[in-house]
């Protein structure tokens, strides 16, 4: 099982698939999941000759579960250390949900020397939480309820989320996949309780506005207009206005889980963007 160890002695698990000399694509996953949630995209691109790197964020999946360091700056630093360890260059970075915030913060902290393109899918930037200057955001009370639900019964909460808004299975006429629900639950329960608890604050309250402005590379924003977790009005529509070279593609009726529910179209859009 490939891992590398960060400066603070945290072991980070990663997958390294495909052509080792091919163009590099990295994938940053959402909360509270891990790199397995990218398997459709990773397999597709690796089969097309790309080198695909997908890691489990600290506190998630098969990576270590440290008590400290569960914050966006450290997440980005861990990923940069992986770039250094594998000497990754000319990378296209792809992030979903919280992972999109990780990509933005990575560029905000470390620039674009190793990055040539980025893709933000149903991602949390610029900032999720509602405030006086972000009226379209989600009230803090919603994220407080996430924390309360975790403490009360994490196992049930991690069934309720994928059974409802994450995949859009609560919508009339939705084709429900019990397999996807089970997979989400399994990935979530693999995560550190402390790590996934801390991450709620990170994905909801971190302001990525200045990071987006520093993303002076072609950046594709994919977002569903029926995203119940990260509503497009407070995220995708605002992000593209801050990105120097941003392009927005809206998925009509698309839920938050675009890489799963709309996997075929996401794969097609990623390949087209990579080859453009």
Instruction: Exactly one of 35, 227, 239, 269 is catalytic; name it.
Output: 227
Cis amide prior to 197 (ω within 30 degrees): no
Instruction: Exactly one of 63, 97, 204, 239 is catalytic; name it.
Output: 97
**Sheet with 51-55: strands ordered across:** 3-5, 11-18, 51-55, 24-28, 91-96, 115-121, 219-224, 246-251
Q: What count of other Cβ atoms lies within 10 Å of the Cβ of residue 11?
A: 16
97 is catalytic: yes
Instruction: List residues bridging with 16 in a β-sheet.
Output: 53
63 is catalytic: no
40 three-class SS: helix
Instruction: Exactly one of 29, 192, 256, 269 is catalytic; name it.
Output: 256
256 is catalytic: yes
Catalytic residues: 97, 227, 256
């Amino acid at each position: 099982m490939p891992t590398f160890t960060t400066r603070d002695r945290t072991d980070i698990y990663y997958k390294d698939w495909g052509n080792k000399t091919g163009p590099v694509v990295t994938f940053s996953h959402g909360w509270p999941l891990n790199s397995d949630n990218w398997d459709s995209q990773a397999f597709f691109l690796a089969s097309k000759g790309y080198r695909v790197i997908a890691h489990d964020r600290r506190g998630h999946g098969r990576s270590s579960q440290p008590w400290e360091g569960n914050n966006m700056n450290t997440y980005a630093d861990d990923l940069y250390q992986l770039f250094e360890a594998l000497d990754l260059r000319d990378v296209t970075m792809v992030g979903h949900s919280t992972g999109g915030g990780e990509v933005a913060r990575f560029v905000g902290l470390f620039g674009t020397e190793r990055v040539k393109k980025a893709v933000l899918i149903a991602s949390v930037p610029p900032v999720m939480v509602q405030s006086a200057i972000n009226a379209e955001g989600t009230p803090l009370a919603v994220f407080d309820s996430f924390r309360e639900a975790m403490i009360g019964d994490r196992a049930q909460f991690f069934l309720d989320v994928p059974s409802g808004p994450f995949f859009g299975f609560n919508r009339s006429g939705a084709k429900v996949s019990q397999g996807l629900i089970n997979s989400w639950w399994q990935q979530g329960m693999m995560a550190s309780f402390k790590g996934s608890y801390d991450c709620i604050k990170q994905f909801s309250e971190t302001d990525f506005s200045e990071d987006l402005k520093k993303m002076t590379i072609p950046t594709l924003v994919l977002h569903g207009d029926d995203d119940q977790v990260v509503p497009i009005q407070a995220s995708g529509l605002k992000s593209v206005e801050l990105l120097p070279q941003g392009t927005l593609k809206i998925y009509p009726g698309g839920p938050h889980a675009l890489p799963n529910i709309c996997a075929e179209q996401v794969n097609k859009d990623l390949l087209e963007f990579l080859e453009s």
